[in-house]
Each structure stands twice: as C-alpha cells, then as structure tokens.
Amino acid sequence: MKKTVITVSREYGSGGRLIGRKLAEELGIAFYDGELLSLVAKESGYTEEFVRRNDQKKTQSLLYHLYIGSQILPASDMIFIAQSRVIKDLYSKESCVIVGRCADYVLRGCEGVINVFVTAPFESRLARVRDEYGEQPDNGNYRAYLTKKDKNRIAYYNYFADDAWGKVQTYDISVNSDIGIDKSADLLAQYIKERIGE
C-alpha cells in the first residue's frame, strides 16, 4: 500500500481509539496511541511515567509561569515539541494510524495524510465510558466527568494547534460511531482504500 499516515481525532468516549486500532489492523499498518509515549520519552529525555502523566495536557497559563518565575518552557510544551518530532519521524518512515495528539495539525499539508474524526452523541459516549471503559468519576457524576474531558480535549488542541478543534473541513472523513466499532472501522478502511486507489 502507498505510504499513508492516518490521523484519528475523536470525541472522548466515541470509541475512536478502538476504531483506530481496528483500522490499522484492517490496513495492516502500525498503530500509535499510548505506544507513542515511550518514543516521546526517548526523544524528550523525560521518563515515560512523567510523559504519561503530562500526556495531552494543556500547559497552565502563561501568568502562572510568570508567577512562579519559570525560565524554561513548561513540561507540557516540551513534551508537545518532542511528540511533534516523533510524529514527523513516523510520517517519514512508515504507514501508520496515529490517535490524537494534534497529529492532523502536526502533519498539515503533508502528502499522503488522511484525517479521520470519530464522533458519537453525548449519551452514547457516556454509556461507553461508564460500561466499557470502566472509568469511575470521584463523585459518580459521569455527565460532569465527560463534559470536563470534552473541555480539556478542546483546550489541549486549541492551545497547541493554530486552528479550532473539530472543524469539519479539517477531516477527510468523520463518522458517528453509533453504527458500532467494527462497522465504523470497515467504513473508514473502505474510504481510505478509495483515496489511495486500492
């Protein structure tokens, strides 16, 4: 298959990560989500545990950094920079699926990149987070938990990318995963095969 990097952006709880993994399997290419973190650790010099703790977190405000008198870039920024290098490096080397981490932004304008977005209605996402991901918010309030996760994801993207998160024109295909994980992956695989002419 022609070298292709597929970025998967997704709403929290939409099953986008699972769909990305399935898609990579169907296309027979590598999959990077958490897998990216050990590469980022190597690139940045931080420990993997530290990278994991700061993964996809927006940096605290500039005011905070001025307040604490920090002279160097905040850790989240350093990690984002290392991560961008890792993503560009993967792009130059192999076909793969990369989940999250503003990969669509990092690779904008690069040839052979196909951007995917996975959505799902709030209620579907809430049910998946509660019943399948097995996450347990402190106060049991899944609604508030999901709303906060959504907010953080958008803030992360809008901090590091120069564009607004979730603009439909950014993506080559988006899909509401209510048709199921496997069927969503099938549909995406089909689209991607059409795009790369296979």
Q: What is the contact surface with its own copies in residues (CB under 8 A)?
A: 11, 117, 119, 166-176, 178-180, 183, 187, 190-191, 194-195
Q: What are phi and psi of 84, to 5 degrees?
A: -60, -40
User: Is 159 or 191 the residue whose CB approaches its own copies more closely?
Assistant: 191
Alpha-carbon dihedral 11, 189, 177, 132, rounded to 10 degrees: -80
Report the nearest approach of its own copies to the CB of residue 172 (Å).
Answer: 4
By DSSP bridging, strand 30-32 and strand 96-99 are: parallel
Report the nearest approach of its own copies to the CB of residue 145 (Å).
Answer: 18
Report the nearest approach of its own copies to the CB of residue 91 (Å).
Answer: 19
Report the nearest approach of its own copies to the CB of residue 26 (Å).
Answer: 16
Report the nearest approach of its own copies to the CB of residue 167 (Å).
Answer: 6
Q: How far is CA 36 from CA 87, 91, 125, 132, 170, in A?
A: 8, 13, 24, 23, 23
Query: Which residues are bridge partners to 10 per DSSP?
Result: 118
DSSP code of 154? H
User: Is 62 or 110 the residue whose CB approaches its own copies more closely?
Assistant: 110
Q: How far is CA 190 from CA 27, 118, 195, 198, in A?
A: 10, 15, 9, 9
User: Is 72 or 167 the residue whose CB approaches its own copies more closely?
Assistant: 167
User: Is 142 or 191 the residue whose CB approaches its own copies more closely?
Assistant: 191
Beta strands in 42-154 (DSSP E): 96-99, 113-119
Report the nearest approach of its own copies to the CB of residue 52 (Å).
Answer: 28
User: Is 117 or 145 the residue whose CB approaches its own copies more closely?
Assistant: 117
User: Is 32 or 117 the residue whose CB approaches its own copies more closely?
Assistant: 117
CB of 132 closer than 8 Å to CB of 177: no
Closest CA to 179 of 194, 190, 170: 190
